[in-house]
Structure 1
Amino acid sequence: MSLLLIVEQLLNGIQLGVMLFLVSSGLTLVFGVMGLINLAHGSLYMVGAFAAAYVASITGSFLAGIAASVVVAGLVGVLVECTVMRKLYARDHLDQVLATFALILIFSEGTRLIFGSFPLYLSIPDYLSGPVTLPGGINYSLYRLVLIVVGLCIAVALHLLISKTRLGIQIRAGESDREMIAALGVNISKLYTVIFAIGAALAGLSGALVGAIQSVQVGMGEPVLIIAFVVVVIGGIGSIKGTFYAAILVGLVDTLGGYLLPISFISLFGPEAHETGATIASMLVYILMALVLLFKPAGLYGASQ
């Protein structure tokens, strides 16, 4: 088992973690502040990826595609919040689940109608392609390294937004007592729209960045949504700090487990045990969630901790 390969998988895990954070942070903001279960959040991830791929294909600019993913996903988020979500805030969680599941179907079929059933491809620009040599002689993808840096920068910016700005104070206050901040003159409807737009833009950005290393296709947001919910539960609902640590942890467990477990099972039990190791590796994230909830039912940084 090569040390260089383990370090490479470690970096891959961090890269997956920061991308999961971009998706999950919006989800935890929406649920923590608004109390809204939004199953359509993964569809906004898909919208961002398709917007980036389409704009990049007609302009020839990767950066224009990335900018389009943020703008389009954010605007779609505002549209969805103003037309659908506002009617769900006072409803119970079952109504929210049913309504946002319907949005998944609408987004999926609408995207298929516009772009067709075949995947789109977002090419990595030449200045971000190829490997870069890290200390220790490790060759690693430059684009994946850029994803790590961009994700960490956005995490810092989001932390500063929540902890140091007036909007952040309103978001934290809204999480604790939305009736009180409404009584103090804060426009709750506007605040909810801004929060939803930020979450949608972050999901769209993540979809675009990941879309460059995967195909952009209908339904790509649903698997990500499942893992994002796991991240939110592990980190603690409403906690950006918890979401960040949980996303990195999930990324590392998923990536390293998927690499190390099959190899370990082959070494211990022979080649026929590879499938067993791979199956257990696919369950590791959910096992991790179960263990965290067993000892910390509110998550790592949940409100009751």
Structure 2
Amino acid sequence: MEVLAAQLVNGLSYGMLLFIITCGLSLVFGILGVLNLAHGSLYMLGAYIAFSLTAQLSQSFWVALVLAPLVVAVIALIVERTLLRPTYHLGHLSQVLLTFGLAYVFHDIVKHIWGSNVLSISVPELLGSSILILGQTFPLYRLVIIGVGILLAIGLWWLQNKTRWGAIIRAGLSDREMIGALGININMVFSAVFVVGGILAGFGGVVASPILGLYPDMEFQTLILALVVLVIGGLGSISGTFTASVLVGILETFGRYLFPELSMFLVFALMAVILIWRPNGLLGKQVAEE
């Protein structure tokens, strides 16, 4: 029972990490209709920038937790305004090719600056202890990640569905001309959403680093899992992304423990079964045929 409880906590914390990493991608696609395949690179940049801040400059995890996502947000803003914005009227294929190419550019830049060695960030001292729950010991950092993931899911769902800003963004995706006629600068709103997506990616990179580490090709492995989560949960659904992240996190964690050779197979098998059962994902929106 102790082993199962530990694996369950590990699975939940890993699922929350997947949600923190993926929610920015889900937000950008669900609101802007942009499939950003460089999202994994923004996550990677957040992790490596945090490593430089903690290892060489501030020596503080908390400073890195604030500054690294802001730096990634600036990079995301530059990418959106200079490269992505002209593709908004061209469709998904142009955006996929552009952002996938950007992922390789960022990969080479990171490799040139930080090298190819496996790096790590230490868990902050404040959260480095363990706590006793029902007679069993659990790492405090993983429990905090679970709490942060739940709070982030609630906040994003409320922002997207219950606020005027969320309504403006959803309306802008459906009819940009009408929103513009109402005096709202929809381009500025779209830029703000992309920046928020960048902040979430950078934040995910920082909080995941003490557990997942920093290593070559981390962005592509993360992107694959993020896309799996996105497809299982349903494109553009924050609640679906949260549900899928928990499922994938628990399934892969127990898969690695019970069937190490089949852990990723189980994840993709789950995706296949769900797509057969619900082609739009667990909580995805029905796509109207034109």
TM bracket (short chain): over 0.9
Deviation at 1:251, TM superposition (A): 1.0
Q: Please state how far the C-alpha of 1:280 moved relative to its aligned partner.
A: 2.8
Any runs of at least 4 consecutive aligned residues in structure 1 with deviations exceeding 6 A, and if so which? Answer: none
Instruction: Please give the alpha-carbon distance, in whole angstroms, between the structure 2 residues aligned to 1:91 and 1:106.
Output: 22
Equivalent residue number for residue 33 of structure 2: 35
Q: Residue in 2 aligned with 1:271?
A: none
Q: C-alpha offsets along residues 88-142 of structure 1, whole Å, 9 cap, x if unaligned?
A: 212233322221111011111111222233343211122211322112x111111
- Identical aligned pairs, as a percentage? 43
Distance 1:175 1:294 in 2: 28
Which consecutive residues of structure 1, in runs of 5 or more, have no partner in the other structure?
263-277
Map of 1:1-305 to 2, 5 A cutoff?
Answer: 3-57=1-55, 58-135=57-134, 137-260=135-258, 262=259, 278-304=260-286
Contact 1:235-1:299 within 8 A present in 2 as well: yes
Following TM superposition, by how much is the alpha carbon of 1:237 offset from its aligned partner in structure 2, in angstroms?
Answer: 0.9
1:245 maps to amino acid: T
Larger Rg: 1
Q: CA deviation at 1:79?
A: 1.1
- One-letter code of the match for 2:150? L
Q: Partners of 1:89 and 1:153 in 2: how far apart?
A: 31
Q: Give CA deviations for 1:29-52 in whole Å, capped at 9, x if unaligned.
A: 222222222110000000110111
Could you tell me whether the CA contact under 8 Å between 1:48 and 1:68 is conserved in 2?
A: no
The structural deviation recorded for 1:16 is 1.2
Q: Distance in 2 between matches of 1:36 and 1:133?
A: 44
**TM-score by structure 2 length?**
0.92
Hey, what's the Cα distance between the residues in 2 that align with 1:183 and 1:287?
47
**Matches of 2:136 and 2:66 in 1, distance apart?**
31
For the aligned residue pairs, the C-alpha RMSD in angstroms reads: 1.7
Unaligned segments of structure 2, at least 5 residues: none
For 2:30 and 2:212, how far apart are their aligned partners in 1? 30
Bigger CA drift: 220-229 or 161-170?
161-170
Match of 2:279, SS?
Answer: coil
Post-superposition shift, 1:85? 0.8
- Cα drift, residue 205 of structure 1: 0.7
- Matched residues in 1 for 2:214 and 2:91: separation? 34
**Distance of 2:35 and 2:102 partners within structure 1:** 12
* Rounded Cα–Cα distance in structure 1 between residues aligned with 2:141 and 2:107: 28
**Which stretch shows the higher mean deviation, 203-212 or 157-166?**
157-166
